């Protein structure tokens, strides 16, 4: 510092013989002010002195006051006001020297940093200008060529063409009241969805009964309920669980979302160039605030189901990547938020399945309310067909709706048959030909008349669909009647109807038995279907014990053949009572009413034990035209309410069954009417 003083003042050091001590100190103070002026600049030095209330001291001719000004400016302390004695000034000036030296050193370092920063900024600017120049050049040249422009024109031409809406789209229910045969299920669904605290739901039922449509319409109905938590624009995201494919390495996961790493998964260029992983949000985030509907949820991959459970618990999806660096300043805020907080996924899950509840993940079932859709009866199918005819504006001939109901129990399939017949009638009308199975070959080049506007609606209103049209459709489509076995009036020996169930569909089993005296008493044989199942075969031996107890007959004196018509496998012992009655009828030659069906396990004491699937079995009996269904007494609570066209009686023992089954047709009908 002494060196700088000598350079700026041109005077020798203080203490020389040529100068007094005070003069030397004045020159030092002046030199220090000169350094500060060079360091800050004259204007800034004056402003700084003014702020520190040192301006008057700095202009003073008194050495002590100038030293105070120097202290205030150097140390930036306006409280210093003690005028130093002459002997103390050298020590003070040494302290000021050191402070000014520190300021100069800091300023030197700051200048170097500023130069480096300026150089870096210039480099970034030059790089940015080069990228902009390249982008402009690329935009001017463009990726298009003659071939790409031709393909673009082809796509635009395809988009300009549009077919009419499909029949299924037009005939689909537009509100909940149009869903036929599911009043109880629809009410349960909407009540669970429209609650201020909505529940996740699983819908069970056979295909084609309206589960998907009901779920979609239920959300629209729930939006209108006061207190429901849905916004007007709450989304309904639909996906099929059987088509959801994902990679265990999380390369892709359309349901929950995935992360595209910059190297392996190919993030966008602006992310890949800076090595930033790119999150891809999934359907659970798209459904945030609304409903995520997963059709065939039972087909969903088990591991993916477990991951979905985690999302249901957390109401958000967590993302992770080894390429994510939270300290990287180049990471956009939305990516940082996704990795650190997760993506929102607060939705109501509605799953639909045709599987049995026992086949669904128990953890998912425990978190969901369960709603069961009923199989459609022939009456329901007929109502669906008539409603579809009104929407199409066509007239149905006699028995058309009834015939369609014989070939399907699915509302979707019934509408499809009607739409096929409608198209067939329109085509024949365009040809001017009579209804025939074989159309003239020249008709292949004919065009349909336009069916739009008032004239088109009038033409459709005059369209008549007859039963011959329906028969032609089912013949060309190779559709078989859904119910092969039908109940009838009268009675037969050795033939009875049992009840079975597969999934959510009940069916009627035709069981027959024949009995012949054995060649040698006590050496008779029993033959039973090999495909019927071991438990069903055991029912034969239970039946033998009951028959012997009731009638004293030993079935070992007979050669007995029991047959399940069609060779179907009986699941469990539920056909035990029916097998007992068939064998007893064959041995005693007692006719059995042919409008009665029965289900229940038989014990060797003659008691009828409870079975499963009673609801489905009753609906199956209705399909076959059964008038009376007998079920175990312990299943009485499973009997649906307000049944039409069928009577269901719970029974507890064989003794209760015999009067209802082993009677002549007229007597049995009178007995049924009395009940």
Catalytic residues: 574, 617
Full strand arrangement of the beta sheet holding 291-295: 236-240, 291-295, 348-353, 200-204, 368-372
Cα(202)–Cα(369) distance, integer angstroms: 6
**What string of DSSP letters covers 220-272?**
HHHHTSTT----TT--EEEEEGGG----TTSS--TTTEEEE-TTTT---HHHH
Cα(352)–Cα(364) distance, integer angstroms: 12
Question: Which positions ≥6 away from 287 have C-beta within 8 Å?
Answer: 235, 236, 237, 345, 347
The first and second tokens of residue 453, run together, are 């506007």
Q: How many CA atoms lie within 13 A of 602 on its CB side?
A: 28
**What string of DSSP letters covers 144-183?**
--HHHHHHHHHHHHHHT--PPPPHHHHHS-SSGGGSTT-H
Cα(307)–Cα(82) distance, integer angstroms: 76
Q: Is 167 left (phi over 0), alpha (psi -120 to 50) or beta?
A: alpha
**What string of DSSP letters covers 533-591?**
-HHHHHHHHHHHHHHHHHH---GGGEEEEEEETT-PPP-SSTTHHHHHHHHHHHHHT-E
The first and second tokens of residue 544, run together, are 């033998």
Cα(282)–Cα(433) distance, integer angstroms: 55
Query: 419 to each of 166, 407, 474, how far by Cα in Å?
Result: 10, 15, 12
Q: How many CA atoms lie within 13 A of 638 on its CB side?
A: 17
| Gyration radius (Cα) of the chain, Å | 46
Residue indicated by tokens 């009413």: 593
Q: How many CA atoms lie within 13 A of 454 on its CB side?
A: 0
Query: CB–CB of 371/612 below 8 Å?
Result: no
Residue 639 sits at φ, ψ, to 5 deg, of -70, 125
Residue 282 sits at φ, ψ, to 5 deg, of -105, -170
Query: CB–CB of 308/337 below 8 Å?
Result: no
Count of other CB atoms within 10 angstroms of residue 91: 10
The first and second tokens of residue 591, run together, are 């006719």
Query: 474 to each of 159, 417, 432, 469, 478, how far by Cα in Å?
Result: 35, 7, 23, 9, 6
Q: How many CA atoms lie within 13 A of 170 on its CB side?
A: 15
Residue 342 sits at φ, ψ, to 5 deg, of 90, 165
Give kind and range of the element (H or E) at residue 509: strand 505-517
């Amino acid at each position: 510092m002494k060196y700088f003083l000598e350079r700026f003042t041109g005077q020798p050091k203080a203490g020389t013989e040529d100068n007094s001590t005070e003069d030397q100190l004045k020159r030092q103070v002046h030199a220090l002010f000169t350094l500060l002026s060079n360091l800050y600049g004259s204007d800034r030095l004056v402003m700084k002195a003014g702020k520190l209330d040192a301006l008057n001291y700095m202009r003073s001719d008194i050495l002590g006051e100038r030293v105070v000004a120097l202290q205030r400016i150097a140390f930036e302390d306006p409280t210093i006001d003690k005028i130093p004695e002459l002997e103390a000034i050298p020590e003070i000036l040494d302290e000021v020297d050191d402070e000014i030296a520190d300021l100069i050193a800091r300023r030197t370092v700051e200048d170097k940093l500023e130069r480096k920063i300026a150089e870096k900024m210039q480099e970034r600017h030059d790089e940015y200008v080069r990228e902009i120049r390249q982008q402009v050049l690329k935009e001017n040249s463009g990726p298009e060529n003659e071939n790409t422009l031709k393909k673009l024109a082809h796509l635009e031409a395809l988009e300009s063409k549009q077919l009419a809406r499909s029949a299924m789209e037009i005939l689909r229910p537009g509100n909940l009241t149009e869903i036929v045969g599911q009043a109880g299920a629809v009410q349960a669904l909407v009540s669970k969805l429209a609650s201020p605290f909505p529940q996740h739901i699983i819908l069970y039922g056979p295909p084609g009964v309206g589960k998907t449509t009901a779920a979609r319409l239920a959300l629209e109905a729930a939006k209108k309920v006061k207190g429901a938590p849905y916004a007007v624009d709450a989304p309904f995201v639909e996906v099929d669980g059987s088509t959801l494919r994902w990679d265990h390495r999380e390369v892709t996961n359309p349901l929950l979302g995935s992360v595209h790493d910059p190297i392996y998964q190919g993030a966008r260029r602006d992310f890949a160039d800076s090595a930033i992983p790119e999150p891809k949000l999934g359907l659970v985030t798209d459904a945030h605030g609304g409903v995520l509907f997963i059709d065939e949820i039972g087909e969903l991959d088990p591991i993916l189901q477990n991951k979905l459970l985690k999302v249901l618990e957390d109401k958000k999806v967590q993302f992770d990547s080894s390429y994510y660096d939270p300290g990287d300043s180049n990471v956009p805020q939305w990516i940082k938020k996704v990795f650190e907080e997760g993506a929102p996924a607060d939705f109501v899950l509605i799953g639909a399945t045709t599987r049995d509840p026992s086949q669904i993940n128990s953890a998912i079932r425990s978190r969901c309310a369960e709603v069961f859709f009923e199989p459609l009866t022939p009456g329901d199918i007929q109502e669906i067909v008539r409603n579809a005819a009104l929407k199409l504006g066509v007239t149905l001939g006699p028995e058309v709706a009834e015939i369609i109901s014989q070939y399907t129990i699915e509302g979707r399939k019934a509408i499809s048959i009607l739409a096929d017949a409608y198209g067939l009638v329109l085509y024949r009308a365009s040809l001017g030909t009579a209804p025939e199975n074989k159309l003239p070959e020249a008709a292949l080049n004919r065009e349909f008349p336009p069916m739009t506007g008032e004239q088109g609606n009038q033409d459709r209103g005059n369209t008549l669909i007859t039963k011959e049209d329906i028969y032609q459709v089912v013949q060309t489509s190779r559709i078989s009647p859904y119910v092969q076995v039908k109940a009838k009036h009268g009675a037969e020996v050795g033939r009875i109807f049992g009840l079975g169930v597969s999934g959510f569909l009940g069916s009627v089993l035709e069981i027959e038995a024949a009995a012949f005296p054995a060649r040698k008493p006590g050496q008779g044989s029993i033959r039973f279907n090999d495909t019927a199942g071991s438990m069903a075969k055991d029912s034969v031996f239970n039946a033998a014990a009951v028959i012997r107890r009731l009638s004293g007959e030993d079935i070992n004196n007979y050669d007995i053949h029991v047959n399940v018509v069609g060779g179907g496998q009986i699941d469990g012992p539920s056909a035990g009572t029916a097998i007992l009655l068939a064998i007893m009828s064959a041995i005693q030659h007692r006719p059995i009413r042919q409008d009665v069906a029965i289900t229940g396990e038989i014990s060797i004491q003659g008691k009828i034990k409870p079975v499963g699937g009673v609801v489905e079995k009753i609906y199956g009996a209705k399909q076959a035209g059964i008038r009376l269904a007998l079920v175990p007494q312990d299943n009485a609570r499973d009997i649906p309410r307000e049944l039409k066209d069928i009577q269901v009686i719970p029974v507890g023992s064989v003794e209760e069954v015999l009067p209802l089954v082993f009677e002549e047709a007229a007597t049995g009908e009178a007995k049924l009417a009395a009940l």
